[in-house]
Amino acid sequence: MMRGDQLMIGDFVLVDGTPRKVEAITKTKIGYHRKENEPRLYYARLHDVEPIEITEELLKKNEFQFKDKPIIPPLIRGIIPYIALVYEGFSFFIECKSGGYTFINGSEMEHGTVMCKTHYVHELQHAIRLCGINFEVKL
């Protein structure tokens, strides 16, 4: 079961085993469209909403590339293996660990780095948004 404060508009979640994009959030439900550009919102109770786990397949579909060599930024040098995506001047590095992934935004390292543990697609979406990047995750 998910809580409403764990979600943002635009997040992807599972409703009855089907991926849905969150379009509205109330205290007890989320609203979503069954079809793209459909005006009607359907609602699911939060206890029926499940997160979508991050998988290697999903990351590859979103053009993340798996690497097996250390990478340049000194903060994360030596992470093996890792997943990298360069998108509009930003570099994302995801450390592969059992029990989840660690998301690291490697852009503008001198101005700060975002690091957070992610297990689910909506958490990855939040981390990318936190970096101020308009990146649409493909499911």
**According to the model, what pLDDT value does residue 77 have?**
47
Could you give the CA distance from residue 100 to residue 58 in angstroms, rounded to a whole number? 14
pLDDT above 70 covers a percentage of the chain that reads 61
Enter the pTM of the model.
0.75
Q: How many CB atoms lie within 10 A of CB 13?
A: 23
| pLDDT digits 0-9 by tens, 9-34 | 999 999 999 999 999 999 999 999 99
Nearest C-alpha neighbor of 83 from the set 58, 51, 52: 58
Instruction: For the chain, give the number of residues.
Output: 139
Residue 136 has pLDDT above 50, yes or no: yes
Mean pLDDT of the residues in the chain: 76
pLDDT at 59: 80
